[in-house]
Amino acid sequence: MYQRALELSRALGARLGKPRAAPVANCVRTVVGYAQEGNSDLSNEQVLENINSLLHLLSVTCYPPATLAARAIFDRKAGEPETKIESVLLAARARWDVELGMPVPIRWLAVLGGVSVKTARNLASMGQLITQTSSEGQTATAKEAARWLDTRDVTVAVGCRVGSSRKPAKRQPSVRASAAG
């Protein structure tokens, strides 16, 4: 995990060893660790704070403002992640949405499951991953996402987090409503 955090912090323009880079390194390590393994010790607010802090770091180093960076990353319905940072953010959001019991876009789920988006879509078309199509794109329910991730040796507990009073950078209300009905 340290090596991946080192790669990402370098991509952000900071080194792990410099004192002034410590917040960057810590944020990157936290998001990478959460995306890979989860962390039940983190509250909803801490997960959200770390994801949004990483978005903010991106916006001040090499990306547009955080809200535009979030939209560019989370709103795309197709295509592979373009950077390692995008992969980490998508995986963290996929894990968090499953833990909250929310539907997860297949694009995010693919990253967390360690496969390409094309592979995830092919698996869905073969019935190995059950998805639905909505205005937000192709999504899987949290329960189905957790089941499929388990086949990929990625364990995520469905609904283990109580809903947050704050919203993530991109929430999908229309998908949530269609999955609940």
Mean pLDDT of the chain: 75
Residue 45 pLDDT: 85
β-pairing, 137-140 vs 104-105, is antiparallel
Q: Considering the chain, what percentage of its residues have pLDDT values greater than 90? A: 28
CB contact at 8 A, 140 and 89: no
CB contact at 8 A, 77 and 137: yes
Flag whether the pTM goes above 0.85.
Answer: no
pLDDT: is 24 or 12 the higher one? 24
Domain borders along the chain are 2-160+169-180
CB contact at 8 A, 109 and 140: yes
Q: What are the CA-CA distances from residue 10 to residues 3, 13, 115, 121 (Å)?
A: 11, 5, 24, 32
pLDDT digits (tens, 9 = 90+) for 18-29: 434 566 777 888
pLDDT digits (tens, 9 = 90+) for 120-156: 999 999 999 999 987 778 899 999 999 999 999 999 9
How far, in Å, CA of 80 to CA of 53, rounded?
Answer: 23
Cα-flanking dihedrals φ and ψ of residue 158, to 5°? -75, 130
